[in-house]
Amino acid sequence: MKCNQLFIILFFTLIFFKGNAQEFKLGKVSVAELQQENHPTDAAAVAAILFEKGVIDFEYNQNEGFIMTTEVTTRIKIYKKEGYDWANKAVRYYNGTNAKESVFFSDAITYNLINGKIEKTKLKSDGEFDEKVNKYWGQKKITMPNVKVGSVVELKYRIRSSRYSELTEWNFQSSIPVNYSEFKTFIPEYFVYNPNIKGFIQLSITKENNGKSLNYLYRATAKAGESMVSSSSQEKLEFLETRTVYLAENLPAMKEEAYVNTIANYTTSVSHELSVVKFPNQPYRTLSTDWQSVTKTIYDYEDFGPELNKTGYFEEDLKPLLLGTTTSEEKIATVFSFVKNAVKWNDYYGYSCNDGVKKAYKDKTGNVAEINLMLTAMLRYAGITANPVLVSTRSNGIALFPNRTAFNYVIAAVETPNGLVLLDATDRFSVPNVLPLRVLNWEGRLIRKDGTSVEVDLMPKVPSNDIVMMNYTIDTNGQVSGKLKRQRTDYNAIVFRRNVNDVKEEAYLEKVENDNNKIEISDYSRTNEKDVKLPIVENFSFSGSNFSELIGGAIYINPMLFFAVAENPFKQENRAYPVDYGFPFMDKYSISIQIPEGYKVETMPTSIQLNMLENLGSFKFMINRTGNLIQLVITHQINSPIIVTDDYLMLKEFYQKMIEKQNEKIVLRKV
């Protein structure tokens, strides 16, 4: 997979230098900004961030200690109606029992140019909303007033938090152009953060140390035998503060490309996680300097490790099911099936429980952690060596550095002599070692009771098959009729089962007919739909008149009919991101074509075999004719779930040649 290259493309060497950042202030919107009709470097942009500045600082008060504040100011230009959503803003805040955060919006104004004059519309209270997301999180939202094409909106928000285990992640890039992005941190010497920078844009960074001081009231505690009246004095504490400024300008929009797992993995950003706390006259407290520290911290969370030790709530139900199971495979299958049927996923992610495994079991619904920690506990009860595996989902980005906040998901792993068996009971269509697509994000982290951890490769190694057997006849009018059998395995089966779940057969067949040149389908059947351990199979008869052309007494027909790929999905001259298929696959077509009586083959495609370097993939197109029967065997195989950017041009050329071959015609001429 060329993992080293995958790592290199995500992270750049930092350059530190001294310099003064350009100043941008709210309230200084210009007529020129309001008159601008298109972005200067991206005419297709629906909006643009003219500037965005973030400042993280620490305040101290006697009662709360250090409080982290995050202040963000931004100015956004709206170019098109499709950009109206950029005039809305949602900010999440933590609302757990151990720590609280609060969010305050201010200076939210919409600017429009009316008859040559700047008109300002301020946000009113009815444009601000507070929502509960889940047990731990809420979010404040604003909807800016009087937004039109050409508007400029400005806003400021401030987050006040006692949770300083990580700083707000700052994204310098977005799905729209960013003209100027600046992020400042002011960190007291008592906190050491690990900065993690990713993306393709090289940041300019200024870093310096300054002396700071704070005043506090010191109260001496009375010793035994002394007067209970405690003395107090005003004290001054001097310390160093590290000031860091990250700056980037003229950032292009992050644009989706074919086969990208999540654009966030390649967006230029900086995140910080607390690694050491070192208050005066106290021992160092290490949090996340290495994976062992990270995993121990997570395992010790009250909503994680202790939940694995609870068994009483399920023992009576599970014990009878395990009677008669003798092999590990039987026990794994029994427990896995039981959990999938007993508890339904409520669509919430997270590696910590919201309400706990016992309540989730009772209510028959729970989040990812509740279901898969429950699964792990049940496997252990059955005598299986099982442990949780921390995962960052595809939508959440890649966890490459030791940090607790990178993960947002947990699955179960069974350790066997033949390797790990990975399980996720949140997905009804999942089977052992065939995880939901959302989980296939490079690597996870298996953690054990003793706090040790190991990397777990989440990427599938066995190809998922899509095998089609099709035979059809062509009549003298070019009409096609035939039969088809299609079998899907592993991830292809998961995708198909999910797509047809709760879809009526009539609606499904109508879509298949419309998507495939208006074919007519009859005698449709589907087998193994409910038995997820087996491949899912479709059988049907079909007919159609849109697959051939009659020209000068000859019939021109594409032998692959509706399975031929029409255009190359890789259109860019160069690729900025790796190609991520998610899983290796093999598409195979065995096709038999009956030539109509009175016709002969004038021309037909020749056989060909294409191979990419390093066994990344292959394409075979084998064809032969015996009498009035033409037979084809066509195989398209991709062996690596991820193709790095260095191999993009090879992949693009491979697809182009494959598509050209798939669209070559058989020419039949009347004898």
SS (H, E, C) 532-582: CCCCEEEEEEEEECCCEEEECCEEEECCCHHHCCCCCCCCCCCCCCCEECC
Considering only CA atoms, which of 410, 341, 413 is closest in space to residue 379? Answer: 413
Query: Average pLDDT over the chain, rounded to whole?
Result: 90
DSSP one-letter string for 501-519:
TT--HHHHHHHHHHHTTT-
Dihedral over Cα of 289, 293, 295, 301: its sign: negative
pLDDT level of residue 400 (50, 70, 90 thresholds): low
Mean pLDDT of 206-221: 80
- For residue 304, CA distances in Å to 352, 370, 371, 376, 580 come to 5, 9, 12, 12, 31
Say if residue 248's pLDDT is above 50: yes
Q: For the stretch 439-458, what's the b/e string if a residue is b when 16 or more beta carbons lie within 10 angstroms of its beta carbon?
A: bbbbbbbbbeeebebbebeb
Considering only CA atoms, which of 83, 77, 102 is closest in space to residue 91? Answer: 102
Mean pLDDT of 153-175: 92
pLDDT level of residue 18 (50, 70, 90 thresholds): very low
State the pLDDT at residue 600.
Answer: 94
State the pLDDT at residue 12.
Answer: 37
Mean pLDDT of 265-279: 87
Q: Helices in 343-463 by DSSP H: which ranges?
A: 357-363, 368-381
Mean pLDDT of 573-586: 91
State the pLDDT at residue 230.
Answer: 57
Q: 3-state class of 671 per DSSP?
A: coil
Q: Which residue has the tokens 């797509």?
A: 499
Confidence (pTM):
0.80
Rounded to the nearest angstrom, the gap between the alpha carbon of residue 69 and the centroid of all alpha carbons in its chain is: 28
Output Rg (C-alpha) for the chain, integer angstroms: 31
Say if residue 390's pLDDT is above 90: yes
Q: Of 39-53, 444-458, 645-659, where does mean pLDDT reach its minimum?
A: 444-458
Percent of the chain with pLDDT over 70: 93
Q: Of 45-59, 390-404, 538-552, where does mean pLDDT reach its minimum?
A: 390-404
Dihedral over Cα of 578, 583, 584, 585: its sign: negative
Rounded to the nearest angstrom, the gap between the alpha carbon of residue 40 and the centroid of all alpha carbons in its chain is: 31
DSSP conformation class of 583: S
Mean pLDDT of 139-155: 96
Say if residue 228's pLDDT is above 70: no
Say if residue 257's pLDDT is above 60: yes
pLDDT level of residue 250 (50, 70, 90 thresholds): very high
CA gap 107, 216 in Å, rounded: 32
State the pLDDT at residue 19.
Answer: 34
Q: Cβ–Cβ contacts within 10 Å for residue 401, how many?
A: 16
Residues in the chain: 671
Angle value at C-alpha 50, between 48 and 56, nearest 5 degrees: 115
Q: 3-state class of 370 per DSSP?
A: helix
Copy the structure tokens of residue 33: 């900004």
Contact (CB, 8 A) for 76 and 150: no
Pairing between β-strand 137-143 and β-strand 128-132 as defined by DSSP bridges: antiparallel
Q: What is the tens place of the pLDDT at every residue in 344-383? A: 999 999 999 989 999 999 999 999 999 999 999 999 999 9
Residue 443 amino acid letter:
E
CA gap 34, 154 in Å, rounded: 13
CA gap 27, 32 in Å, rounded: 14
Considering only CA atoms, which of 562, 579, 568, 560 is closest in space to residue 656? Answer: 568
pLDDT level of residue 218 (50, 70, 90 thresholds): low
CA gap 56, 161 in Å, rounded: 11
State the pLDDT at residue 33.
Answer: 95
Q: Which residue has the tokens 């009804």?
A: 428
Pairing between β-strand 101-114 and β-strand 178-188 as defined by DSSP bridges: unpaired
